[in-house]
Amino acid sequence: MGQHLIPPLNFGLVEDRLYRSGQPNELNFPFLEKLGLKTVVFLAPEEPNQRFLNFVDDQDIRFFHLGYNTSANAWDPISEEVVLESLELMLDPHNYPLIVMCNLGRHRTGTVVGCLRKLQRWNLTSIFEEYRRYAGPKVRILSEQFIELFDTDLIRVPLNHPKWL
């Protein structure tokens, strides 16, 4: 019988070979294997699940835990420093296929993706619609405000950037 492929919570395609999600569990590993991931950008302040770290190690995936140096309070908004570091990784095609994630794939991930959309010159209505689709009823006004006020001039766009930018 064929193996079931189950995506992680709040999984989505952001751009070609760029994905977003919540932290996966063992049921999601076969799905993630199919993506051929090269890089994981983990935004949650908590330590990731050990089984997930073992999976990343077994698959020879580079793992960047950017949320560790932020507040351990899950309600605190993501820092500008973490967003800039995340975007730098996301704008380097050598890191692809890449997935950006936090615990539930809602707020921290949504903020980083929202800032990427702003860099892509999406209008705010479309950015917020995408953010709210993943946040569900748990929308955080501070996350939306962060995206709205985010200064895209702080981002160094590399010469060799993804084609979709």
Report the alpha-carbon distance of residue 160 to residue 165 in Å, rounded. Answer: 10
Determine how β-strand 62-65 pairs with β-strand 18-22: unpaired
147: Cβ contacts below 8 Å, ≥ 6 apart: 111, 114, 115, 118, 124, 127, 128, 131
Contact 99, 107 (CB under 8 A): no
Q: Which residues pair with 98 in a beta bridge?
A: 18, 39
Q: Which of the residues are catalytic?
A: 102
Name the phi and psi angles at 41, rounded to 5.
-110, 110
CA nearest to 163, candidates 32, 18, 11, 13:
18
Contact 147, 131 (CB under 8 A): yes
